[in-house]
Amino acid sequence: MATLSGKNVLVIGGSSGIGYATAAGALAQGAHVTIASRSEEKLRAAQASLPGKVEARALDVADSASVEAFFNAAPTYDHIVVSGAAFKFGTVRDQNIDDAFAAMNVKFWGAYRVARKARVAADGSFVFVSGFLSRRPKPNMVLVGAINAALETLAQGLALEMAPIRFNVVSPGIIDTPTRAAMPAEARKAMLENVAKSLPVKRVGLAEDCADQILLMLRNTFMTGSVVYIDGGGLLV
Ligand SMILES: NC(=O)c1ccc[n+]([C@@H]2O[C@H](COP(=O)([O-])OP(=O)(O)OC[C@H]3O[C@@H](n4cnc5c(N)ncnc54)[C@H](OP(=O)(O)O)[C@@H]3O)[C@@H](O)[C@H]2O)c1
């Protein structure tokens, strides 16, 4: 299997959660890592706490001008991980249509913009992060399931259109990351405990569970167009 040693790896969403764990893992495997996200403050904090030297650059994947400016000033990367997204949930009837468009804009069109503008080595790869809702739609989260399904199909199409550059997708189940930081602590704890009880593995996921799979996808040169579920068996129950 190929190594990440000396490779240029960009992790979009690298300031938190799954992206942060991926950046830490890539550093441990000897990669030159750049993390990117919107907030300079979060980037600086991540840069200070990651176990090694990383470059940090501001980027908003929801904004075409930001993506264009970022990649105009960027080197050719060996690998790009797109784990950066933030959006609101809601039912199709009740969610504000602008919030619905914003969710698709950041998570689906964000990955599309990056694939369109980034320079990536011919033997390089992309990993997108989707989510289990594409296979297990849930009331109140219908749109996000559809966005995840679109993202998975986008990656598979790009695996053909941009070959030999490889495209793979990690689809997480419930992962305990700062994404739920706004929930009241007690409600969050109870929710995570309930999910853990329901899963065959009897625990919720950690960011590192997803990062391990992402790093494997970057290194495995025979893997493209794959969607891997890191969900503790959630699709089985
Ligand atoms: N955690 C779960 O249970 C779970 C389950 C299924 C799928 N997922 C998916 O996994 C991905 C990562 O989630 P996570 O749990 O690691 O979330 P997280 O801890 O909240 O991290 C999200 C990261 O994305 C960045 N980001 C948000 N909007 C961005 C934008 N417009 N442009 C660039 N970067 C942006 C954030 O930084 P800034 O705020 O600085 O931009 C942050 O670094 C998301 O796509 C999420 O939908 C997560």
For 173-194, the pLDDT digits (tens) are 999 999 999 999 999 999 999 9
Answer whether residue 112 is part of any domain.
Answer: yes
Residue nearest to atom 12 of ligand 1 (CA): 83
Answer whether residue 45 is part of any domain.
Answer: yes
For 81-130, the pLDDT digits (tens) are 999 999 999 999 999 999 999 999 999 999 999 999 999 999 999 999 99
Answer whether residue 236 is part of any domain.
Answer: no
Answer whether residue 235 is part of any domain.
Answer: no
Which of ligand 1's atoms lies nearest the C-alpha of 43? Answer: 40
For 3-46, the pLDDT digits (tens) are 999 999 999 999 999 999 999 999 999 999 999 999 999 999 99
Number of helices and strands in the chain (H, E) = 7, 7
Maximum alpha-carbon separation in the chain: 49
Answer whether residue 183 is part of any domain.
Answer: no
Ligand 1: which residues within 6 Å by Cβ? Answer: 12-13, 15-19, 37-39, 42, 59-62, 83-86, 106-107, 129, 131, 172, 174-175, 177-179
Return the pLDDT at 206: 98
Answer whether residue 192 is part of any domain.
Answer: no
Phi-psi region of 156 (alpha: psi -120 to 50; beta: other; left: phi over 0): alpha
Answer whether residue 237 is part of any domain.
Answer: no
Structural domain count, the chain? 1
pTM: 0.98
Answer whether residue 58 is part of any domain.
Answer: yes
Domain that holds residue 56: 8-177+207-229
> Ligand 1 centroid to 127 CA: how many Å?
14
Q: Look up the CATH number of the domain holding residue 114.
A: 3.40.50.720
